[in-house]
Structure 1
Amino acid sequence: MTQLRAVGDAGSASPTGGDVVVDGSPVHVVQAGSGPGVLLLHGSGPGTTGWGAWRATAAALSGRFRVVVPDQAGFGATPIPGEGRAGRDVWVSQAAGVMAALGLGTYAVVGHSMGGAVALALAAAYPDRVSRVVAVSSMGAPAPLSPGLDALWSARPSRDAARSLLRLLFHDEVLVTEAAVDARLAAMTAGEAAYARLFPPPRERWADDLALDEPTLASVVAPVLLVHGQQDAVTPLEQTALRLRSLLPDARLETIPECGHVPAVEHPALFLRTVEGFLQP
Structure 2
Amino acid sequence: MSASSSEQAVRDPEAGREVIAGGIRTNVHDLGSGAPLLLLHGSGPGVSAYANWRLVMPALAQQARVIAPDLVGFGLTRRPEGFQFTIKNWRRHVLDLLDELGIERCDVVGNSFGGALALSLAVHAPQRVRRLVLMGAAGVPFTITPGLDQVWGYEPSLEAMRGMLDLFAYDRSLVNDQLAELRYRASLRPGVQEAYRDMFPAPRQRWVDALCSDQDAIRALPHETLIVHGRDDRIIPLDNALTFHRLIERSQLHVFGCCGHWTQIEHAERFARLVGDFISEKDKS
After superposition, the Cα gap between the structure-2 partners of 1:153 and 1:8, relative to the gap in structure 1 and judged at 3 Å, is: farther
List structure 1 runs of 4+ shifted beyond 4 angstroms: none
Are 2:102 and 1:97 aligned?
A: no
Alpha-carbon distance change, 88 to 8 in structure 1, aligned in 2, over 3 angstroms? farther
Q: Does structure 1 retain, via aligned residues, the 8 Å contact 2:18–2:28?
A: yes
> CA offset at residue 77 of structure 1?
1.4
Q: Residues 250 and 82 of structure 1: is their aligned pair in 2 closer, same or farther, counting only changes over 3 Å? A: farther
Q: CA deviation at 1:176?
A: 4.5
Superposed displacement of residue 23, structure 1: 2.5
**Match of residue 262 from structure 1:** 262
SS at match of 2:91: helix
1:57 shift after superposition: 1.4
* Distance in 2 of aligned mates of 1:266 and 1:89: 31
8 A contact 1:163–1:176 mirrored in 2: no
- Superposition TM-score, scaled by structure 1 size: 0.90
Matches within 5 A, 1:5-84: 17-83=16-82
Contact 2:56 2:272 in 1 (8 A): yes
Residue 84 of structure 1: how far off its partner (Å): 5.7
Consecutive unaligned residues of structure 1, counting only runs of 5 or more, are 1-6, 10-14
1:216 equivalent in alignment to 2:217:
yes
Q: CA RMSD in A?
A: 1.9
Quick check: which one's helix share is greater? 2
Secondary structure of 2:71's counterpart equals coil
Residues in 1 aligned to 2:244 and 2:59: alpha-carbon distance in whole angstroms: 27
Q: Which amino acid aligns with 1:203?
A: R
Structure 2 distance, partners of 1:90, 1:199, is 15
Shift of 1:91: 1.4
Q: Residues of 2 paired with 1:158 and 1:75: CA distance? A: 18
Is 2:273 aligned against 1:273? yes
Q: Aligned partner of 1:200: which letter? A: P
CA distance in 1, matches of 2:111, 2:157: 24
Paired AA for residue 91 in structure 1: W
Instruction: Classify 1:102/1:8 alpha carbon distance in 2 versus 1 (closer, same or farther; 3 Å).
Output: farther
Query: Cα deviation per residue 1:101-152 (whole Å; 9 max; x = unaligned)?
Result: 1111111001100001100110111211200011111111122222111111
**Any idea what SS the aligned residue of 2:50 has?**
helix
Question: How far 1:208 sits from its partner (Å)?
Answer: 0.8
Q: Could you say which residue in structure 1 is the equivalent of 2:237?
A: 236
Counterpart of 1:12 in structure 2 is none
Q: CA deviation at 1:67?
A: 0.7
Identity of aligned residues (%): 36
What residue number does 1:4 align with?
none
In structure 1, the partner of 2:4 is none
Aligned with 2:199: secondary structure?
coil
**Cα offsets for 1:46-101 (capped at 9, x unmatched):** 10001221122111111111111110111011122432641211111111111111
Whole-Å separation in 1 of the counterparts to 2:109 and 2:177: 29
User: 2:219 & 2:25 partners in 1: Cα distance?
Assistant: 32
